[in-house]
Structures are given as structure tokens and as C-alpha cells.
Amino acid sequence: MNRTRRVSASRRLPAWIGAMALVLAACSSATTTPLPTAVSTAGPASGAPASAGASAAAAGAAANAVTIKNFAFNAASLSVKVGQTVIWTNADTTPHTVTADDGSFDSGHVAVGSTFQQTFTKAGTFAYHCNIHPSMKGTITVDA
Ligand SMILES: [Cu+2]
């Protein structure tokens, strides 16, 4: 008995009405959802402090930054103190490497837009070059 009613009802209703009802249901649930979602954003938001801390750390080391551009290290010569980190940013249009002449560090290929960082724990003068373009040379002087 119920079956007969349902069948006849579904036959009378055009398919688009059912679709419409689904859309409306989706919409109404969608409008309700954002609030809980916004609240649950507190989850990702708790991740924000972490990234903020990371960027703060990056900012602290930003003073010791070398930009790679136009097939050159800029600045080619940089002085830092023991324990400090140098960050190379590849702002060029092709990959490069930051490779110590003495092999003490090697970035491997640094893709365009990527960075490489190296912390210097010993005083001294460290010459480096790009493995792909040997004419690219730089020096990091580490003061005690
Ligand atoms: Cu290069």
C-alpha cells in the first residue's frame, strides 16, 4: 500500500524537483556548516603560531641572506658570526647550487624560488661556487 503511494508520487514529481530539493538541502546545510567550520578553523589557526614562529626565525636570519640572480651570488662576499645561518634564495630563472669549494656543504640543485640554508659553526673563510655554473663564486667569512 505504501509502496503504491510512493511509486505514484515519484512518477508525478519531475526529476528536477528531486534535484532541487537536494540542492536546497545542500544549500541549507551549507549555510549552517560555515559556523561550525569557522569554529573548527581554530584547529588550523593553532598551526598559525607555528608558521609565524618559523617566519620570525627566517626574519631573524634574513640579515644573512644571499640572493642568487643573473647567474651571480649577491652579495658575493658576506661576513657572519659563528653559529649564524646564511640563507640563499634562488631568484634566478634557472637552478643553481651552493657548493663549498672544500665540500663542507652542498645545497644540491636549488630550484627557482627555493632557498638553501647553511649554519656556520666554525670560524674561517668559506669559498663556494655553483656546480652548474663554475663562474659563479662567493665567499662566506665566519668570524668568531
Ligand atoms: Cu648556477
The pLDDT tens digits of the residues spanning 54-86 come to 444 444 444 799 999 999 999 999 999 999 999
Query: Ligand 1 centroid to 129 CA: how many Å?
Result: 8
**Residue 12 to residues 2, 5, 17, 23, 103, Cα–Cα distance (Å):** 15, 11, 10, 20, 80
Instruction: Calculate how far, in angstroms, residue 133's C-alpha sits from the geometric centre of ligand 1.
Output: 4
Local confidence band at 15 (pLDDT 50, 70, 90 cut-offs): low
**CA 13 to ligand 1 centroid distance, Å:** 69
List Cβ neighbours of 66 (8 Å cut-off, separation of 6 or more). Answer: 73, 74, 75, 78, 86, 87, 88, 89, 98, 138
Q: Say which DSSP state 132 is in.
A: S
Whether the CB-CB separation of 49 and 57 falls below 8 Å is answered with no
Closest alpha carbon to 78 in 120, 108, 116: 120
**Distance between Cα 95 and ligand 1 center (Å):** 6
CB 81 within 8 A of CB 109: no
CA 134 / ligand 1 centre spacing (Å): 7
Measured in Å, residue 71 CA sits from the centre of ligand 1 at 6
Contact 64, 126 (CB under 8 A): no
Per residue in 88-144, pLDDT (tens digit) is 999 999 999 999 999 999 999 999 999 999 999 999 999 999 999 999 999 999 999
Q: How far is the CA of 103 from the centre of ligand 1 (A)?
A: 16
Cα 130 to Cα 97: distance, rounded to the nearest angstrom: 5
* 72 alpha carbon – ligand 1 mean position (Å): 8
Interior CA angle at 56 toward 55 and 61, to 5°? 95
**Ligand 1 centre and the CA of 123: distance in Å?**
26
